[in-house]
Structure 1
Amino acid sequence: MPFNPLEQRGIPLDRQMRTWRELDVQPIDPDRCDPYTRCRIITMNGIEIEAVLFSHHMARHCPDQDVRRQLAQTRAVEAQQQKAVNWLLPGVASVLETTIAYEQVAVDLTAWVARMEPDPYLRQAYQFGLLEDFDHLYRYANLYEMIEHRKAEEIVQGLTEIMPGRPTKYHHRDPTDNVRDPYDRSRTDPLSKLHALTIMSAEQQTMNFYLNVGPQYMEPIARQLYQEIGLIEEEHVTHYESLVDPGETWWEQLVNHEYNECYLYYSFMEQEPDPKVKAVWELHLNMELEHLRIACDLMRRNDGREPEEVVAPELPNVLTFEPNKGYVRELLATQIDLTTLGTGYVREAHERFQAMQALLNDGDRPPSERVMEQHRDMFGREYRLETEGEHPEPSLRSHD
């Protein structure tokens, strides 16, 4: 049955603040949970962090004290939601275990969005970033076996394959070539707005996670790999945030944020097998419905428009975490050698690309290459997880 969040009433805002006991959620069991439960948790943590950060930025640009107070009230609840969601992750998991789960999110979330995206230009942007995150998963999986002597298949459980994508050493581009053309807010499908906001938020949280946890390692190769991939995640945030139309008003963006949270909590509630986690998704959905109502009222009063002018009249099909092996393999076979030039994509190593490679490498091999060399020295092989069929070895001959 279609679900229209604009017609739903949630929990009144004055009843949404939780006690310490209520915020003390029971974490998932990393050895028994569905890997996609962990992925949903990581995704919603990134979504909630984006909601809080956006609200702060909006408040800093808003001269109306009443609006700023309203934003502060809603933001306080969003901050509690973020804590409850992120604290579902177990403390017994190592940083590298969580890192591999972050990259599983990046692969399967981005693949699903790319498959469902109606706009060809936006779809290409997701496909491009997907092949890079796929390679990050591969590099971290090899680091995980080196440092913790465990296999990443215990984390992804065969739902996501682990093998080379577009080699990480080729992800370092001139910053100007990470800026894409934005969608047109007056013409784009409302689903495209949700996709762009979702992937931008997820990549932003991945960037934040790596820049905070990278220095916690003692092993030089681990510190260096987090530093390299953390810089690429910054490129990805630039890549994805530039897809959003900068002409959207603050009020329009606020409604899009709240609508997207309703969409994702509803989606995850519909597919969550863990009853305790599902209860969190359901509770937060009922909170977000009220946040959306408040945002819509602010838009009417301050922007003079109805929310139906900018969002869909009902939620699209639920966003689903599911295996995307065949889709990723097809992209590996057809798009492995792409890089960016301006707002488009090319297969040649153009002058700006070569200059950036020379500047960063300075005759040295990047950490993403050295981690593989050290792994081969230690184990006599690379770590991979291929679940079916054969793959051609990815190459970037046009860049060599």
Structure 2
Amino acid sequence: MSFNPLEQRGIPLDRQVRTWRELDVAPIDPDRCDPYTRCRIIAMNGIEIEAILFSHQMARHCPDLEVKRELARTRYVEAQQQKAVNWLLPGVASVLETTIAYEQVAVDLTAWVARMEPDPYLTQAYQFGVLEDFDHLYRYANLYEMIEHRKAEEIVQGLTEVMPGRPTEYHHRNPADNVREPYDRTRADPISKLHALTIMAAEQQTMNFYMNVGPQYMEPIARQLYQEIGLIEEEHVTHYESLVDPGETWWERLVVHEYNECYLYHSFMEQEPDPKVKAVWELHLNMELEHLRIAGDLMRRNDGREPEEVVGRELPNVLTFEPNKQYVRELLATQMDLTTLGTGYVREAHERFEAMQAQLNNGDQPPSKRVMARHREMFGREYRLETEGEHPAPSQRSRD
């Protein structure tokens, strides 16, 4: 049965503020939870943080005090939602365990979006990014075994493979080459708008997470790897945010943000096996339906348009966390040696790329490469988790 959130009434806003006791959610058990439950939590935390940051930015550009008050009322509830979602993560998990889960989110969320995206240009943007997140997972998995003497398999549980992607050292590009062409707001499929916002929000939260947790390690190699990959996440946010049409009005953006939250909470509620977590998704969906109604009313009053003109009338098929191993392997076999030039992609290491590499490395090996050398010194091998078949032979450039 189709579900149109624009026709649904959620919990009235004045009944959405929760008590401290209600916000004190029970965290998941990291040793027994479905890995994709953890992924859904991490993804929704990023979505909620993007909603809060966007609302603040909109308020800073809005002269209407009543609109600012409306945004503030909704934003406070969004902030409570973010706390409830993020606090589902267990305090016993180490920073590196959570990091590996973040990269599992990046791989399987971006791969799924790439598979479902109807616009070929946007599809290529997601395919390009996923091979880099895939390699980040591999580097962090080796660091995890070095520092904590545990294997990433305990976290990803075979749902996502751990092996080399496009080598992290080749992710550092001239900033000008991280900017893509945006979709056209007047012609883009509504699902393309949701995809772009979702991946941008997820990468933004990963960037913020690494910026804050990297210095918490004492081991120099760990601090250095977080610095390197944290800079690449900044590149990824630039890459994905540039896909969004800058001509969208603030009211359009507000509606798309609220609609996307409805879409994702509905999707995750449909597939969540943990009843306690599913109850959170269901509660938040019913809150977001009201937030969407408010955003739609603001669009009608201030933009003279109906929200259906921007997001359509029915939710797309649910977004699903699922293994994407064969899809990623196909990308590894065909797109490993891509880099960017202008708003497009090339296979040659061009002048701007090489100049950036020389300036950044200055004759030294980057941390991502030194992690692998250190791991081989300690264990006589590198850590990999390949669950089926053979990994395609890497090109010469892909060797770390």
Both structures adopt the same fold (TM-score exceeding 0.5): yes
Q: How far does the alpha carbon of each residue in 1:290-342 deviate from its partner, in whole angstroms, 9 at most, with x for none?
A: 00000000000000101111012100000000000000000000000000000
Q: Decide whether the 8 Å contact of 1:266 with 1:285 is kept in 2.
A: yes
Q: Decide whether the 8 Å contact of 2:52 with 2:79 is kept in 1.
A: yes
For 2:51 and 2:397, the matched residues in 1 are separated by 42
What's the counterpart of residue 49 of structure 1? Answer: 49
For 1:88 and 1:392, the matched residues in 2 are separated by 37
Cα distance, 1:55 vs structure 2 = 0.1
Secondary structure, counterpart of 1:226 in structure 2: helix
Cα distance, 1:126 vs structure 2 = 0.1
What's the counterpart of residue 292 of structure 1? Answer: 292
Q: Decide whether the 8 Å contact of 1:372 with 1:382 is kept in 2.
A: yes
Which residue identity is paired with 2:289? L
Structure 2: 5+ residue runs without aligned partners? none
Which residue identity is paired with 1:8? Q
- Count matched residues: 400
Identity of aligned residues (%): 89
Which residue identity is paired with 1:235? E
What's the counterpart of residue 257 of structure 2? Answer: 257
Cα distance, 1:398 vs structure 2 = 9.2
What's the counterpart of residue 147 of structure 1? Answer: 147
Asked if 1:13 is matched to 2:40, the reply is no
For 1:323 and 1:371, the matched residues in 2 are separated by 27
For 2:397 and 2:338, the matched residues in 1 are separated by 11
Cα distance, 1:370 vs structure 2 = 0.1
Kindly report which structure 2 residues correspond to 1:111-130, keeping only aligned pairs within 5 A, or say none. 111-130=111-130
What's the counterpart of residue 133 of structure 1? Answer: 133
Kindly report which structure 2 residues correspond to 1:1-400, keeping only aligned pairs within 5 A, or say none. 1-397=1-397
Alpha carbons of structure 1 residues 277 and 306: separation in structure 2 relative to 1, 3 Å: same
For 2:395 and 2:240, the matched residues in 1 are separated by 25
For 1:170 and 1:5, the matched residues in 2 are separated by 43
For 2:360 and 2:392, the matched residues in 1 are separated by 29
For 1:123 and 1:163, the matched residues in 2 are separated by 23
Q: Decide whether the 8 Å contact of 1:39 with 1:102 is kept in 2.
A: yes
Secondary structure, counterpart of 1:310 in structure 2: helix
Q: Decide whether the 8 Å contact of 2:166 with 2:398 is kept in 1.
A: no
Q: Decide whether the 8 Å contact of 2:41 with 2:88 is kept in 1.
A: yes
Alpha carbons of structure 1 residues 396 and 10: separation in structure 2 relative to 1, 3 Å: farther
Secondary structure, counterpart of 1:96 in structure 2: helix
Q: Decide whether the 8 Å contact of 2:167 with 2:398 is kept in 1.
A: no
Cα distance, 1:396 vs structure 2 = 5.0
Secondary structure, counterpart of 2:345 in structure 1: strand
Q: Decide whether the 8 Å contact of 1:191 with 1:312 is kept in 2.
A: no
Secondary structure, counterpart of 2:311 in structure 1: coil
Which residue identity is paired with 1:318? V
Q: How far does the alpha carbon of each residue in 1:212-264 deviate from its partner, in whole angstroms, 9 at most, with x for none?
A: 00000000000000000000000000000000000000000000000000000
Cα distance, 1:393 vs structure 2 = 3.1
Cα distance, 1:392 vs structure 2 = 2.3
For 1:114 and 1:228, the matched residues in 2 are separated by 25
Which residue identity is paired with 1:4? N
Which residue identity is paired with 1:59? A
For 2:296 and 2:138, the matched residues in 1 are separated by 43
Cα distance, 1:399 vs structure 2 = 11
Q: Decide whether the 8 Å contact of 1:172 with 1:232 is kept in 2.
A: yes
Cα distance, 1:31 vs structure 2 = 0.2
Cα distance, 1:397 vs structure 2 = 3.4
Cα distance, 1:391 vs structure 2 = 1.3
Which residue identity is paired with 1:310? V
Q: How far does the alpha carbon of each residue in 1:177-220 deviate from its partner, in whole angstroms, 9 at most, with x for none?
A: 00000000000100000000000000000000000000000000
For 2:32 and 2:160, the matched residues in 1 are separated by 17
For 1:323 and 1:399, the matched residues in 2 are separated by 25
For 2:396 and 2:137, the matched residues in 1 are separated by 19
For 2:72 and 2:396, the matched residues in 1 are separated by 49
Q: Decide whether the 8 Å contact of 1:47 with 1:201 is kept in 2.
A: yes
For 1:112 and 1:208, the matched residues in 2 are separated by 23
Q: Decide whether the 8 Å contact of 1:347 with 1:398 is kept in 2.
A: no
For 1:141 and 1:273, the matched residues in 2 are separated by 26
More displaced 10-residue stretch of structure 1: 305-314 or 75-84: 305-314
Q: How far does the alpha carbon of each residue in 1:60-85 deviate from its partner, in whole angstroms, 9 at most, with x for none?
A: 00000000000000000000000000
Which residue identity is paired with 2:92? V
Alpha carbons of structure 1 residues 277 and 399: separation in structure 2 relative to 1, 3 Å: closer
Give me the CA root mean square deviation. 1.0
For 1:133 and 1:351, the matched residues in 2 are separated by 25
For 2:391 and 2:319, the matched residues in 1 are separated by 28
Structure 1: 5+ residue runs without aligned partners? none
For 1:139 and 1:399, the matched residues in 2 are separated by 13
Q: How far does the alpha carbon of each residue in 1:91-143 deviate from its partner, in whole angstroms, 9 at most, with x for none?
A: 00000000000000000000000000000000000000000000000000000
For 2:77 and 2:64, the matched residues in 1 are separated by 21
Q: Decide whether the 8 Å contact of 1:111 with 1:324 is kept in 2.
A: yes
Cα distance, 1:34 vs structure 2 = 0.1
